[in-house]
Amino acid sequence: MLKKLRGGILVIIGYMLSPLSWWNDLFFNLPIAYLFGYSVSLINSDLFLPFTIIGYWISNVLGILMMQFGVTEVFTQPEKTRNWRQDLLIGFISSTAYTVVIVGLIQFNWIEVPTVLLSSLK
């Protein structure tokens, strides 16, 4: 029962970080990415945007992986073993594809970047 509860908590937190919820970026992923980019920009200010994108990607990957591991704990039988490489590969591929789409939408001005990010890039 404790394993299923832990899995459920992982699914909920993972959902908050994953690209599957449309509203999560504003409250979770962008602040995490901004903080990550800002902390690296203290070393070199030119690294802000690339590391903000990397932080955004990491938060999405982490969310998908947490959901995968949580669902696996909730729904699999105890005697089944996990394929960690396959789980990681699926998480990296799906999150990378999502991040590429978002960056493309920003580059082609199909979605707007918050003014906080734009003002810090100058």
pTM: 0.65
Please state the domain extents for the chain: 2-121
Residue 57: exposure state from Cβ atoms within 10 A (0-12, 13-18, ≥19) = buried
pLDDT at site 122: 45
pLDDT tens for 80-110 read: 676 778 877 877 787 778 778 877 887 888 8
- DSSP tag of 45: G
Rounded CA-CA distance 122/116 in Å is: 11
Phi and psi at residue 43, in whole multiples of 5°? -80, -45
Cα distance between the two ends of the chain: 52
The stretch 43-64 carries a mean pLDDT of: 88
pLDDT at site 42: 94
Residue 7 DSSP SS3 = helix
